[in-house]
Structure 1
Amino acid sequence: MTDTELDADEARQQLYATMKSDLPFEDKAERALSIGTTYLGVERGYINKIDQETDYWKTIASTDREDGVAPPGTRLDLNKTYCRRTLREDDSIALHDAPNQGWADDVAYEEHGLRCYHGTTIEVAGEPYGTVCFSSDGRRSAPFTEEETMFAELVARLLEHELERQRTEAKIARLDRFAGAVSHDLRNPLNVAMGRLEMEREKRDTENLRVATSALDRMEDLITDVLTMARQGQDVSEMESVSLASITEGCWDSIRSPDSELRGVGDLTFRADQDRLKQLFENLFRNSVEHGSTSSRTGSGDSVEHGSTSDRQRTEDSTLVRADTGVTITVGALADGDGFFVADDGPGIPESDRQAVLEPGYSTGDEGIGLGLAIVDSIASAHDWELTITESDAGGTRFEIRDVITNE
């Protein structure tokens, strides 16, 4: 155990300066944890995201590097950690010498052998989010003082606030994008309808009536899409266990195209809002089907053009079912178990466009307003999932969704 190199005032000053900086959350968190480890005289600090219903425990920020005990991305069974006890307590848990404080028979000590541990619960949106922990393999020379515990709790509260702020900013950004799409895309068809109807009042021309009716129908479709996007962007409050295989089969039944096929894959059980998850898969499937098959490239604007009939191989365990003139879609769990993917065998999305396709209004066609993939991104964000777009093994498009709470 190293000697404390910072006094309380210095530690607080450095902590406040770090949290006021413009650094990304990951950098702020690592620096705050590093200040905490120095002040407390321990070996490491880390933030964990936890779901008590599924015993999910994952490190999202840490002072440890990849070869350390708990680097970012480390996943453990919650029931075998001290954090399970931290979540049940009203106060922080402070252990300077666990086996000699009555914890020798605790499953966490037996599993990991940490003699020194200090843990504090953090909440986001009024619900338990996880813990901020400081630990060492060996015993600490002295118990944690009240002042040291107060500092550890200060670190937790500041990081808790940063997570809240990050979530709020993401929500505001989503709403701003939605408002921009609404103000631009709803006004255009409405003006068309109004102009044509005015002309009809003067000429009584049947064609104008048809044009006006078409424009009004389009406006109704736009309103439906925008309302869907706004609804899907709201934070998820209730989740349930879902089966990847079952939910994708059901979604495929509603999208099914005679020329396209869904590739069967192994199952994955995870927690999600089932209705929104269905919308996510249906939008991704529709995106591939509407533009992926050689017989259906009609240019719907709520999709991004990618998909074809090229052959493909994947490393995930699955059985390939080929489509003769359409697109083949593959769905499966990621190799590291952190989420799932949806891939097709088309020409793919250029790397320079992969961020743009998730923005409201991006469209490759003339009919829609480009909200299909924006809704997918919105649903992922509402679940606190990470969505990325890469190239599939066959050169098509692969959507990867990570940070999913899985039932292991």
Structure 2
Amino acid sequence: MVVRNGRTGGDQTPGVRLRRGWYRMTGDSLTSQAAREELYDIIRGDGSFETKAQAALDIGVRFLSADSGYLARVDAETEYWEILVSTEPFDGEAPTGQEIDFELSYCRRTVDSDEQITLHDAPNQGWADDPAFQAQGLHCYHGTTLIVDGEPYGTVCFVAEDPRGEFSDCESLFAEMIARLLERELERQQHETELTRQANLTTVLNRVLRHNLRNKLSIARGHIQLMADSATESGEIALQSVDTIIELCQKARDLDQIISLETDPEPTDITALVRAVAERVISQHPNTSIEIDQVDSVTVSVLPSFERALLELIENAAKHGGPPSTITVCITEVSDGVEIRVSDDGPGLAPQEAKVLETGSETPLTHGSGLGLWISHWIVTGHGGSIDATVTDAGTTMTISLPQQTESTTDSHQPTLKRAHDQYQAAFEEASDAMVIVDTEGRIIEANPAVADVYGVESQQLLGRPIAEFLPEEFDYEGAWSRFQTKDSEHDTVTIVGGDGVDRRIEYTGTTNIVPGHHLIVGRDISKRTDRGSR
């Protein structure tokens, strides 16, 4: 797209038109069958949306004998028009990202029409006085509206400077086929972007909740230690409870690392692996006795994380067996893999824990608190295996059934990922504190409903706005922002100038890079508390 004098008959008036003739493929016409085959090969292939769109438009230019083709983003309400992908090079680059006056584009008519706009000789079809023809001087235009997620998104257009015969039904059908296929690609791209955003939000909330919980518990532990030192029974019980929760925080961190680990299964001697894990457990629990009943050697392809699953199960048996605890690990080679049975002589696994371990799901009446067992379940099911718990008066037996070959770990993780996302999304949405996530430029990219009580505007109205917009003029934002990005976290108070005209004193906690390039700021209005303190 170039800005220069448009050609409308003999007049020379300022305007915008497409450069002529770059992709005219004389003698290189395509049959409809060949064009469709090329188009489907492109859409089914690899590559970015822009790459596929460029190639699809190239085919359309050849099939319709056009000069150029382009995909434009159009918003009729705001009169916005911009080329996103084009076949036309200019100064070595495609003329994408360029905007013109909406009223000077043929696309304004396309998005308002329920049908395709097909002009083979614009001035002789009653368009001589149309602003688009006056500005661009294009006799031929073929435009199809793009619909993405049920709403008009833009247009797919093919243009030529010179007149031609009428577009055939076959040509119009092919142009529509290009538009429909690009619609699906756009929707897929947008859905993938949304999934990535949701996954990032899950990671953000996981890390923030774990980080804040651990920090608060560390403070509480210091005070409870004073109670325990006074030899009170309640203090000792409280101290043990806090230590248990801190251990769960560490387990959550470990689970996060296991989930994000990407590697391939490797052939592993399961017998040798069990022995190594048993030695680790005995070193930590010297009063534990572990007997291994095994075949000489059995090799199965597993991920490195499988060692962690074994450790969690054997260590759990050591903690809850006895005292002193006696553990038996039996390794049996079966036709399609291996079975590993871990038996202890403890009081037995709680029924609700066994249920969660077997099903990998929770209900309000069946809740699993043993995060180590969750880790084991995640890893083993990720290998295509299963864990069964058998509880008797003599103790508990955990049976791992593992296939000979691990094929995929992705699909089995999806239910857990969705559950994790739903839980953390709910925590974000329902939190009473105002929570915003900002990017490296300080712009708000996510906000929960509670922000209305702090920033004076609804969450959707915050998106894309710089957080500096809500700070007083005298506040040294540049300096504060620079210092904030060098820290892991920050706790302070600041005045927020609300969008509703109300100034509020807030107490906030900021955590940097909860995922790369995303920072979380959690705020609470303390204006009333401050007012009371000043009286």
TMscore range, shorter length? 0.5 to 0.7
Q: Which residue of 1 aligns with 2:147?
A: 123
Greater RCO, 1 or 2 (C-alpha within 8 Å, sep 6+): 1
**Which residue does the alignment assign to 2:478?**
288
- CA gap of 1:145–1:53, structure 2 versus 1, over 3 A, is same
- Structure-2 separation of matches of 1:69 and 1:81: 22
User: In the alignment, is the contact (CA less than 8 A) between 1:48 and 1:60 conserved in 2?
Assistant: yes
How big is the shift at 1:229? Answer: 3.3
For normalisation by structure 1, the TM-score amounts to 0.56
Instruction: Please state if 1:57 is matched with 2:81.
Output: yes
CA offsets 1:73-97 (integer angstroms, 9 cap, x no match): 2211111111111011101111111
CA distance in 1, matches of 2:188, 2:478: 35
Partner of 1:228: 436
Give structure 1 stretches of 5+ with no counterpart.
236-250, 255-272, 304-365, 378-408
Is residue 2:202 matched to residue 1:179? Answer: yes
The residue aligned with 1:370 is 513
Question: Does the CA contact (< 8 Å) of 1:302 and 1:372 recur in 2?
Answer: no
| Deviation at residue 187 of structure 1 after TM alignment | 1.9
Q: CA deviation at 1:198?
A: 6.2
Tell me the matched-pair count. 271
Whether 1:10 and 2:19 are equivalent positions in the alignment is no
1:287-306 aligned at under 5 Å gives the runs: 288-292=478-482, 299-301=486-488
**Preserved CA contact (<8 Å) 1:44 1:62:** yes
Q: Which residue of 2 aligns with 1:158?
A: 181
Q: Kindly tell me: are residues 298 and 105 of structure 1, through their superposed partners in 2, closer, same or farther at Cα, counting changes over 3 Å?
A: closer
Q: Matches of 1:225 and 1:297 in 2, distance apart?
A: 20
After TM superposition, give the deviation of residue 143 of structure 1 in Å. Answer: 0.9
Asked if the contact 1:50/1:130 (under 8 Å) is kept, the reply is yes
In structure 1, the residue corresponding to 2:96 is in which secondary structure?
Answer: coil
Provide TM-score, normalisation by structure 2. 0.43
Q: Which amino acid aligns with 1:288?
A: E
Asked if 1 retains the 8 angstrom alpha-carbon contact of 2:485 and 2:512, the reply is no
Q: Residue 66 of structure 1 corresponds to which residue in structure 2? A: 90
Superimposed CA distance per residue, residues 39-83 of structure 1 (whole angstroms, 9 cap, x where no aligned partner): 111111001111223322110100000259982122111111111
- Does 2:466 match 1:276? no
Residue 137 of structure 1 pairs with residue 161 of structure 2: yes
Higher strand share: 2
Moved more, 61-70 or 100-109: 61-70
SS at match of 1:204: helix
Q: Tell whether the 8 Å contact from 2:73 to 2:153 is kept in structure 1 after alignment.
A: yes
SS of 2:69's equivalent in the other structure is strand
**Displacement after TM superposition at 1:5 (Å):** 1.4
CA shift for structure 1 position 174: 1.5
C-alpha separation between the residues in 2 aligned to 1:37 and 1:19?
A: 17
Distance 1:171 1:226 in 2: 22
Q: 1:224 to 1:160 in 2, by over 3 A?
A: farther
Alpha carbons of structure 1 residues 70 and 116: separation in structure 2 relative to 1, 3 Å? farther
- Report the 3-state secondary structure (helix = DSSP H, G, I; strand = E; otherwise coil) of the residue aligned with 2:138: coil
Two-structure CA RMSD over aligned residues (Å):
4.5
Deviations 1:204-228 (A, max 9, x none): 279x99xx9xx9xxxx99x789953
Distance 1:156 1:171, change over 3 A: same
Query: Matches of residues 8-407 of structure 1 in structure 2 within 5 Å?
Result: 8-67=32-91, 71-140=95-164, 142-194=165-217, 197=220, 203-204=226-227, 227-229=435-437, 233=445, 274-282=461-469, 288-292=478-482, 299-301=486-488, 368-370=511-513, 374=517
User: Shift in Å at residue 286 of structure 1?
Assistant: 7.8
Distance across 2 between alignment mates of 1:52 and 1:290:
41
- The letter for the 2-side match of 1:121 is T
2:119 & 2:93 partners in 1: Cα distance?
18
- Report % sequence identity: 36
Counterpart Cα distance in 2 of 1:298 and 1:30: 39
In structure 1, how many angstroms separate the alpha carbons of the residues matched to 2:510 and 2:77? 44
| Cα distance in 1 between the residues matched to 2:485 and 2:32 | 66
* Stretches of structure 2 lacking an aligned partner (at least 5 in a row): 1-23, 230-234, 247-426, 439-443, 448-454, 491-508, 521-535
Distance 1:92 1:291, change over 3 A: closer
- Specify whether residues 281 and 372 from structure 1 end up closer, same or farther in structure 2 by C-alpha distance, changes over 3 A only: farther
C-alpha distance 299-376 of structure 1, shift in aligned 2 (>3 A) = closer
Q: Distance in 2 between matches of 1:275 and 1:186?
A: 23
Please give the alpha-carbon distance, in whole angstroms, between the structure 2 residues aligned to 1:147 and 1:279.
50
